[in-house]
Amino acid sequence: MATELDKVEVVTVGVGWTGGIIAAELAKNGVQVVGLERGKPRDTEDFQHIHDEYRYAIRYDLMQDLSKETITFRNNRDERALPMRQLGSFLMGEGLGGAGVHWDGQVYRFLPYDLEIKTHTDEKYGADKLGDDYTLQDWGISYDELEPYFYKFEETTGISGDADSMPQSAPRNNPYPTPRMKETPVTKRFKDAASNLDLHPFHIPSANLSEAYENPDGQNIQQCQYCGFCERFGCEYGAKSTPNVTVIPTAQETDNFELRMNANVTEVLYDGDKANGVKYVDLQTGEEFIQPADIVVLTSWVMNNTRLLLNSEIGRPYDPETRSGVIGKNYCYQMRPTATGFFEEEKFNTYMGAGALGAAIDDYNGDNFDHSDVDFIHGGVITVNQQGQRPINNNVVPNDTPNWGQTFKSESLKYFYRTLTVGSQGASMPHRNNYLSLDPDYTDSNGYPLLRLTYDYTDQDRSLHAYLAERSVEIMKEMGADHVEASEMTDHYNIVPYQTTHNTGGVIMGDDPETSAVNNYSQMWDVDNLFVIGASAFAHNGGYNPTGTVGALAYRAAEGIMQFREENGQLVQGKKNTKVT
């Protein structure tokens, strides 16, 4: 029998970036919030021995324990989905701060084009540019509406950037709170090459701060030391903006936030009309609790947000056969086209670096170039990153080299500091056959069905990959590499090698309750007091890292929740003005 606790006003599931933002914004405004997080607590003190590639980058010490819960995966509906038994393609966060602890900190705003992609594409290229199998949708919000929330996230996190050098990126009303990071020989070389090619290079906006900064909530973030142990690691200085050094302490400094660790939420309690709270297991005692709440907020990342809704039987599950339903729909990922340059005569100090240290161009992103003569839409930011090259993870050798033995050894030693990679985050368009659902066979350690991922590359992906790889090769050649190798796509999407943790979709945002799950405040169309926040709301995936946009949506959702407390009901009028049941 689950123990029923006293009702609270707001409960959040997961305390990472989105959960932290909701906690800070509501608690500051006098709202009582309980944050349930299934992982352990941690702060900067826990990161003093973090420079350990094996423990943190290879054995994934900070990430989700898959023995308790994972996903299952198959390339298509005719296959049997099998468990992702070990981490690989993407790395789910776990513990206080979520993936916000071990992220890189590259912070972008999605383009105005992204938010109105369907309208724009149809108008400019005709309604059948991609064909009927691509389930492209507008997001139900314009860039101008979202702009202040982007800034709110950047201000809270103190992002270091140089707005003046970004003419093709999303327009800004304010400069970045701190100056861009340092220029290194690597970033300079990329920028010179890009300029020679008449492209428009800029420094990647960074949450590894270029200087010490106090944010509007009074939290201090330190200056980045370019230590090279950022991606997959926590920062030993508190110099990387994470929920743990920004929003979570802000919430904790009020009397309104209660954080409960080791609390694994298994269900949202739902009476067919509204959410009444959540059920969770205390992982240390095995005890079950019911936490009643006026407002329930899912802030548990893409996969978990979707899974909790499906396991709680909330909303209409997406069915690829009939194309009806919305929960699980429009799952997207990203392509990673790259060009690796081999430099025979030069060595770069690439053991130094920071998660978000790098340079980029937006010339081939969004609709910044004309797509009339290509058979794909969108594109991606093309970057060079200097993140701190680690020896286990980086053994780049020319393509025809075996991957073990004497030649491998000497070639991987030789090229360790003699290669640079230019690469893109290729945007991913939704396709009817790529979606999330519940697995019929496999369960988690509590007996609940695992989430099942059905995903493969589409023709759009292959064309986009080829195009961006070619552009990357041009830049790398201009950078002076003696020999350049472009990446090639595998026959199918592979769950094994790490690619990116920019998974999106499943609980998408839109202006029509028929085709989307949440409105532009991340409020569920079907359930007024349930908010679902994160990249799960992205109706497609853009050509950038997601968290700048996730942060903006979270600040907007916080405002929505405040408004809902006053007004109740739907905050947005659905396009068709019908509530689908």
Partner 1 sequence: MADEKDAKKQSEMSRRKFMKNTGYVAGGAIGGGLLGSLLGTNFLGDNQQTSPENTNEENNFNRALMYFTKQSDFDILRAATERIFPEDDNGPGAIELGIPFFIDHQLAGAYGHNDREYMQGPFYPGSDFQGYQTRLKRHEVFDVGIQAIEKQSQNDFNASFVDLEGEQQDEILQQFQDGDVDLKGVTATTFFELLRSATIEGAYADPLYGGNGNMEGWVMKEYPGNYMSYIDEIEEEEFIEKEPKALQSHISS
Ligand X SMILES: Cc1cc2nc3c(=O)[nH]c(=O)nc-3n(C[C@H](O)[C@H](O)[C@H](O)COP(=O)(O)OP(=O)(O)OC[C@H]3O[C@@H](n4cnc5c(N)ncnc54)[C@H](O)[C@@H]3O)c2cc1C
- CA torsion 490-428-340-159 (nearest 10°) is -150
- By CB under 8 A, the count of residues binding partner 1 is 65
In angstroms, the Cα distances linking 94 to 37, 97, 98, 240, 426 are: 8, 8, 5, 18, 26
- State the binding string over 144-183 for partner 1 (x if CB under 8 A, else -): --------------------------------------xx
Round to whole Å and give the CA distance between 416 and 130. Answer: 41
In sign, the C-alpha dihedral spanning 23, 27, 33, 39 is: positive
The answer to the question of residue 464 lying near ligand X (CB under 6 A) is no
DSSP assignments along 182-245, one per residue: ---HHHHHHHHHHHHTT--EEEPPBSB-SS-EE-TTS-EE-----BS--TTS--TTS-B--TTT
What residues numbered 318-357 form the site for ligand SF4, per CB under 6 A? 354-355
Question: Looking at 10, 50, 91, 359, which residue binds ligand X (CB under 6 A)?
Answer: 91
The option from partner 1, ligand SF4, ligand X, none interacting with 269 (CB < 5 to 8 A, set by class) reads: none
What residues numbered 218-237 form the site for ligand SF4, per CB under 6 A? 224-227, 229-230, 233, 235, 237
Nearest of 511, 557, 559, 513 to residue 535 by alpha carbon: 557
The option from partner 1, ligand X, ligand SF4, none interacting with 265 (CB < 5 to 8 A, set by class) reads: ligand X
Q: Are 214 and 178 in contact (CB under 8 A)?
A: no
Round to whole Å and give the CA distance between 267 and 245. Answer: 29
DSSP assignments along 516-539, one per residue: -SB-TTSBBSS-TTEEE-SGGG-S
Round to whole Å and give the CA distance between 511 and 119. Answer: 13
In the complex, least distance from residue 41 CB atom to ligand SF4, rounded to whole angstroms: 19
3-class DSSP assignment, residue 286: coil
In the complex, least distance from residue 521 CB atom to partner 1, rounded to whole angstroms: 35
Classify residue 538 as left (phi > 0), alpha (psi -120 to 50) or beta: beta
The answer to the question of residue 297 lying near ligand SF4 (CB under 6 A) is no
Quote the tokens at residue 97. Answer: 């701060």
Active site residue 502: yes
The answer to the question of residue 505 lying near ligand X (CB under 6 A) is no
- By CB under 6 A, the count of residues binding ligand SF4 is 14
The answer to the question of residue 48 lying near partner 1 (CB under 8 A) is yes
3-class DSSP assignment, residue 463: helix
The answer to the question of residue 344 lying near partner 1 (CB under 8 A) is no
The answer to the question of residue 428 lying near ligand X (CB under 6 A) is no
The answer to the question of residue 400 lying near partner 1 (CB under 8 A) is no
In the complex, least distance from residue 505 CB atom to partner 1, rounded to whole angstroms: 20
The answer to the question of residue 534 lying near ligand X (CB under 6 A) is yes
- 208, amino acid identity: N
The option from ligand X, ligand SF4, partner 1, none interacting with 239 (CB < 5 to 8 A, set by class) reads: ligand SF4
- 283, amino acid identity: L
- Which residues of this protein are in contact with ligand X, per CB under 6 A? 13-19, 36-39, 91, 93-95, 98-100, 102-107, 231-232, 263-265, 299-301, 304, 355-356, 501, 534-535, 545-548, 550
- Which residues of this protein are in contact with partner 1, per CB under 8 A? 48-49, 51-54, 58-60, 65-67, 69-70, 73-75, 79-80, 82-86, 88, 182-185, 223-229, 236, 347-349, 351-353, 357, 391-392, 395, 403-406, 409-410, 413, 416-417, 441-443, 490, 492-496
Give the active site residues: 502
- Which residues of this protein are in contact with ligand SF4, per CB under 6 A? 208, 224-227, 229-230, 233, 235, 237, 239-240, 354-355
